[in-house]
Amino acid sequence: MRQLNILKAILDLVWFFSLVGAIGVLIFLPFYLFESEIDIPIKIKGQVIATNDSLSKIIVFVNIVSGLLFLYSIYLLRKVVGLFQKREIFNDQVIHLFNRIGQLVIASTLISNVSLFIYKFVVKDHVGLSLDLGSYDSFLISISLGLFFMVISVVFKIATKMKEENELTI
């Protein structure tokens, strides 16, 4: 169970620093959205959003929402690891949390990538496709990770049913 403790420590560290960053972004967001004087270029997934028009502000807002969804999925994963530490493994809450984490990771990935695709199409007047396979921020890896959590949810559901049936036969 040492690995579980290391995972919990890493998730807590990521959660803390991400939460501090999210608070900073949420403080900055109203100034960016409602002030026309602020002309700060923002980089999202390697794409520089340099203009200060309405579409750029919407793209930045949507990507912040996407980041917050991902941050919430980290929070839920922390809860799952906490349940595992309490040895509550085959639990309906764990099954629900794994499914929710998968949905949030997929939603966050789709929202972010679709908004940047629209930005490139409208502002840059070109459409491109890139597959960053070696990166943790890859579209396909993120979608696969979300689907993996959803599959784990189904596996845990089957295991819970089998455990209940096994307990009834004894």
Tokens of 36: 């026309």
Per-residue confidence (pLDDT) for residue 77, from 0 to 100: 97
Tell me 135's DSSP state: S
Per-residue confidence (pLDDT) for residue 147, from 0 to 100: 97
Per-residue confidence (pLDDT) for residue 136, from 0 to 100: 63
Whether residue 50 contacts residue 37, with contact meaning beta carbons closer than 8 Å, is answered with no
DSSP secondary structure string for all residues of 1-48 = -HHHHHHHHHHHHHHHHHHHHHHHHHHHHHHHHH-SS----EEETTEE
Q: What is the pTM of this model?
A: 0.85
Whether residue 104 contacts residue 70, with contact meaning beta carbons closer than 8 Å, is answered with yes
Spans in the chain with pLDDT lower than 50: none
Per-residue confidence (pLDDT) for residue 148, from 0 to 100: 97
Whether residue 115 contacts residue 61, with contact meaning beta carbons closer than 8 Å, is answered with no
Per-residue confidence (pLDDT) for residue 133, from 0 to 100: 59
Q: How far apart are the first and last CA of the chain?
A: 29
Return d(Cα 146, Cα 60) in angstroms, integer.
Answer: 23
Residue 48 amino acid letter: V
Return d(Cα 150, Cα 148) in angstroms, integer.
Answer: 5
Tokens of 157: 């559901």
Per-residue confidence (pLDDT) for residue 138, from 0 to 100: 79
Per-residue confidence (pLDDT) for residue 74, from 0 to 100: 96
